[in-house]
Amino acid sequence: MSLLAILLEMAVGYLGAGIGAGLAAIGAGIGIGKIGQGAMEGIARQPEAAGTIRSTMIIAAALVEGVAFFAVVICLLVSLK
């Protein structure tokens, strides 16, 4: 392989890793926004259930963040390979 082909392959790998990490962050933002929206609507409809809804929302948001963090780490590992 020529040097140009190797550099081009590396550049495409970095580009793919960057796009993947960006999509993971965008997806996590949208997911947490939807979780917050649903929780606020639920609390508005049933204020007495606010504590339960809030704790469920925090657990769901943590799971979404965990998946997004995992995706970003995988993208970094791929780019640093």
Consecutive 10-residue averages of pLDDT for the chain (81 residues): 81 87 94 96 96 96 94 88 73
pTM of the model: 0.80
Domain boundaries defined on the chain? 10-79
- Phi/psi-derived region of residue 33, left when phi > 0, alpha when psi is between -120 and 50, beta in every other case: alpha
Q: Which run of H or E residues covers position 2?
A: none
The CATH architecture that domain 10-79 belongs to is: Up-down Bundle (1.20)
The number of beta carbons lying within 10 Å of the beta carbon of residue 31 is: 17
Query: For position 10, what pLDDT does the model report?
Result: 80
Question: What per-residue confidence (pLDDT) applies to 11?
Answer: 83
Residue 5: its pLDDT value, please? 83
